[in-house]
Structure 1
């Protein structure tokens, strides 16, 4: 239930009583017949009529006030759809492979594979995987901090990860490709470990011994450790290509920062000796010592993992078109209304047209193309648009979606069909917040058969959240449209903080503290050599307060900002971020110049 309706009702009721008092003063005889006095009404029937009229006029007033946000909501649905859609539950899951069934080539579980949770009140939650997962016949048997194994220039400490194959397979038999790890553990440990891996690695080597006891060693570079989560095909939330990808990075970071705690180790296919044993030691050398309280064990580096999100495709309940209605509520599942919520409308079609019997594929009114050369077979065109509103059910924090049809002049239009079929992307509403966590027998099941013993959540599924609707959308739309690369850079730290606050949906103290941890932002034009030529770009220096990032990742936050600022830059230019802290004289990191890819035309 939208709490604003109560405010409108009370406002209208107060207005009617005040006007009733004026009416009683001016026309006391008529007011006497109604038992209407300046501050009360003795006639219960008149009192009920006043309250009913206040309720109706309150709804009308609210509807009028909501009409302008409908426009901003529609614009946001085109350019920034993640800003109005519900934020679904997210987690990270681990697949435990069936050891005797995994071949040396591995077994691939594709992206968008459906997972089912244990039923809650008879309804399982449906999640889908966000990364492809290759189950390899190998496991982590130990991990920890060690003294350097060999003499490496600048190495102060090393991280040792020991792997062992299934069924005594030789290391050289495996089809390695890249090996993806997830950093699992408390935030104060994994975020520091993330910084060590991407800011302090000076050398990587991998050792394996053959049956004669001779060690084969391959050398890797820090670039062989590749971050995961920043590429478009690694996004958790679907978004159109016309949306600015930099905002999606901010959105996913503030909603689920754990999605960035993955990394790929490349180059393991360099092992050529055919007679290696079943163990592999990965030595990652660091140019600094880790914090004394850093805890690393075999559970810190998890294989066979992927982020998952509570999104799934389905067909909503059929909608019967009625001449008396101008809008229709889209119901994902009539039997499970408390456990389903519309995330987005994918298409609106109909296979029954009274006159021609031909199907119709309706186009959205708010789109880049209106297909003006097409019609519905009745010499008129109807386009659909939606409005998202807060649920009217008591105790329900979810939203409802209403579907309407208009012509090109935005006048109500008859779709000219009997039954509408609406294809949607749905969530399980607030049900994932009640999911059990840490079941030894597994938290999820796969839709298809696979050589998997169980699927466990490494992170408790996050609760579903909803961006605020209504008047707040106007400010957010204006902020997004007015802020561009130069306004952020020239506006300094205040402009950057302002755009980051747009993505603090929970208004949480932890997020506010990170944003307030940006102390200053300075920029200057520089010329750098990019490839075989020289290029002019912008060097941005951001100073942070480390004390604002206790238990969270300052370095990861800086990495997200570096990618975000780099997305703004046009071709033939670049951006370069320098991150500093008030606690240290030396820079936290100076990134390489990032070439722009924004097309000017």
Structure 2
């Protein structure tokens, strides 16, 4: 409606200027059209001019909207998630109920479990979990980052142990021991705290870690050294996505989208390989040690047990809804997709997941999107009907504007003729969010509390950080420019002799659409990006039989691209230099071609080479 007002004012000003000029040129036949800046003295003339300005404003707006229709449709094919609203997200912590049964076998909250908040204006907000959550009857009672002296494993030197992260765990039931929790093989931690401290700790864990050990309570207990790769990052795998993504989209772009949408989803790490030592310990308390070859004194006083949160998962304001059935008529070419007629103010469609047409014979027919690949060009029988949806400003039946958007859907054939049946009913399965309602939930003291919809031996979840706001990144006038940028980037390569850093900035700017001017990504902190061809040894993870009869892993060599990325550390304060580089490293790996690899080297002017990642092809480290 605000856009229409702008068009109306432009048309009204033009008509007044044109009418005044015409009256001056032909005073005998058009003298009554003479107007000043305030309008005509004749109220009837003024009413006609305003009515005509309103009609021409609507027409001009419709013509301008049509300019972006093709661009919007193409962008909906290439990256549909960039047109959808970005739902609120947060980190939620769960804990087991303090019941008599200590649940020594643990309890798992599956991924995509439904949650509900307290009611807002009579309606609760709905959410779903992003990661599976394993809950155990143990508590992290202490966590310290300390300098020497401390116990050192025999396999590590003094230079490899300049600081120690020491965690102390205790079973909640005094009668319970570590051996009773036979399925406890790994622990997942969320790094909680101020951003600059959390990012520094995340960097230490993945660049300065030299060893990890487990020990029972008591200084006389032996140290059990864990495998070198026991500490693993979380959030990069395809099954760890928190936003629905079309399978037509490369997982590489999924990573960039989720990094800019909610970077906190990556601030998790797993410590695996715990089952061997814990399975034989009859102790109620045990320690976990992380050894680093660097001491960061400024970080030591900020580390506590509160920094490492167990039982956490990202949570997004998304939930499935079966929309109101649409009865197809000849009166309208498009029909609004209404998730729930009683909850229009609180439900906004994020995506359409499935469309089914029920004909007059009661037969159900699955309908594919119009801009899809099911048109019979491969020799198969093409579908008869397709659905197409456009996103518009949401409004009530009384034309009052709602926050957010709504979808208008039509069912057409390949020639865009609408479905010609007054007896057909269209059933639509959607994923929705609660518009801007989540912003009204109170925050503080663990609130808002979220309850599992299906129950379980779990206390209500508490939010560790405020919900991000609902964001809608693309307005109509921006769509064509974003599409042009994406198509242009498809023809550029960071290894073709062009300015790699500039290409990288252009790519990131396309996806950095969820932030405001005050928290925009520091593109100026990308100083340089260069590539070179290298050859590296690769080891297959498959076991094959050697000529001598034994088993081994085949060793080979492959050509690949080594990328050197130079970032300016002051520009990334509060953003997380290493976390961003990790996302970029996975992004490059997902674009590596067959029989090739990608390898990233991270450097800064302040510390020179900071990290050299092993060769990667897709999600596999070679």
Asked if TM exceeds 0.5, the reply is yes
How many Å apart are 1:240 and its aligned residue?
1.8
Cα distance 1:597–1:547, how it changes in 2: closer, same or farther (>3 A)? closer
- The number of aligned residues is 585
8 Å Cα contact 2:447-2:463 kept in structure 1: no
Looking at structure 1, the residues matched to 18 and 325 of structure 2 have their Cα atoms a distance apart, in angstroms, of 47
Q: Which moved more, 1:409-418 or 1:335-344?
A: 409-418
- Secondary structure in structure 1 of the residue aligned to 2:124: coil
Looking at structure 1, the residues matched to 279 and 42 of structure 2 have their Cα atoms a distance apart, in angstroms, of 98
Alignment pair present for 1:184 and 2:184: no
Alignment pair present for 1:383 and 2:351: no
Match of 1:540 among 563, 576, 597: 563
8 Å Cα contact 1:382-1:414 kept in structure 2: no
Cα distance 1:394–1:345, how it changes in 2: closer, same or farther (>3 A)? same
Q: What are the within-5 Å matches in structure 2 for residues 313-392 of structure 1?
A: 313-351=320-358, 353-354=359-360, 356-370=361-375, 373=381, 381-392=384-395
1:298 alignment counterpart: 305
How many Å apart are 1:128 and its aligned residue?
0.2
2:257 alignment counterpart: 251
Looking at structure 1, the residues matched to 491 and 535 of structure 2 have their Cα atoms a distance apart, in angstroms, of 18
8 Å Cα contact 2:451-2:461 kept in structure 1: yes
1:37 alignment counterpart: 34
- Secondary structure in structure 2 of the residue aligned to 1:31: helix
1:579 alignment counterpart: 602
8 Å Cα contact 1:180-1:304 kept in structure 2: yes
Match of 2:151 among 149, 152, 157: 149
Q: Which moved more, 1:55-64 or 1:306-315?
A: 55-64
1:493-517 C-alpha deviation (Å, 9 max, x unpaired)? 1110111111221453465452211
Looking at structure 2, the residues matched to 441 and 497 of structure 1 have their Cα atoms a distance apart, in angstroms, of 38
Alignment pair present for 1:594 and 2:594: no
Alignment pair present for 1:230 and 2:253: no
1:115-135 C-alpha deviation (Å, 9 max, x unpaired)? 001111211110000111111
1:66 alignment counterpart: 65
1:502 alignment counterpart: 510
Q: Which moved more, 1:160-169 or 1:362-371?
A: 362-371
Match of 2:208 among 200, 210, 213: 200
How many Å apart are 1:229 and its aligned residue?
0.2
Structure 1 spans left out of the alignment, 5+ residues = 376-380
Looking at structure 2, the residues matched to 94 and 481 of structure 1 have their Cα atoms a distance apart, in angstroms, of 41
1:378 alignment counterpart: none
How many Å apart are 1:301 and its aligned residue?
0.9
Looking at structure 2, the residues matched to 92 and 20 of structure 1 have their Cα atoms a distance apart, in angstroms, of 61
1:85 alignment counterpart: 84
Looking at structure 2, the residues matched to 421 and 338 of structure 1 have their Cα atoms a distance apart, in angstroms, of 21
Alignment pair present for 1:565 and 2:562: no
Looking at structure 1, the residues matched to 580 and 491 of structure 2 have their Cα atoms a distance apart, in angstroms, of 18
Looking at structure 1, the residues matched to 603 and 439 of structure 2 have their Cα atoms a distance apart, in angstroms, of 38
Cα distance 1:441–1:404, how it changes in 2: closer, same or farther (>3 A)? closer
Looking at structure 2, the residues matched to 441 and 17 of structure 1 have their Cα atoms a distance apart, in angstroms, of 56
Q: What are the within-5 Å matches in structure 2 for residues 388-399 of structure 1?
A: 388-392=391-395, 396-399=402-405
TM-score (norm 1): 0.92
1:553 alignment counterpart: 576
1:200-255 C-alpha deviation (Å, 9 max, x unpaired)? 10011000159xx9624321134100000000000111112220111111111111
TM-score (norm 2): 0.89
Looking at structure 2, the residues matched to 275 and 469 of structure 1 have their Cα atoms a distance apart, in angstroms, of 60
1:483 alignment counterpart: 489
- Secondary structure in structure 2 of the residue aligned to 1:495: helix
2:532 alignment counterpart: 524
How many Å apart are 1:486 and its aligned residue?
5.6
1:459 alignment counterpart: 465
Looking at structure 2, the residues matched to 448 and 117 of structure 1 have their Cα atoms a distance apart, in angstroms, of 13
- Secondary structure in structure 1 of the residue aligned to 2:33: coil
1:508-546 C-alpha deviation (Å, 9 max, x unpaired)? 346545221111111111122222222111111111111
Looking at structure 1, the residues matched to 563 and 187 of structure 2 have their Cα atoms a distance apart, in angstroms, of 34
Q: What are the within-5 Å matches in structure 2 for residues 79-228 of structure 1?
A: 79-100=78-99, 101-146=101-146, 147=148, 148-150=150-152, 152-153=156-157, 154-168=160-174, 169-174=176-181, 175-209=183-217, 215-228=221-234
Structure 2 spans left out of the alignment, 5+ residues = 540-554
Looking at structure 2, the residues matched to 423 and 552 of structure 1 have their Cα atoms a distance apart, in angstroms, of 37
Looking at structure 2, the residues matched to 485 and 215 of structure 1 have their Cα atoms a distance apart, in angstroms, of 60
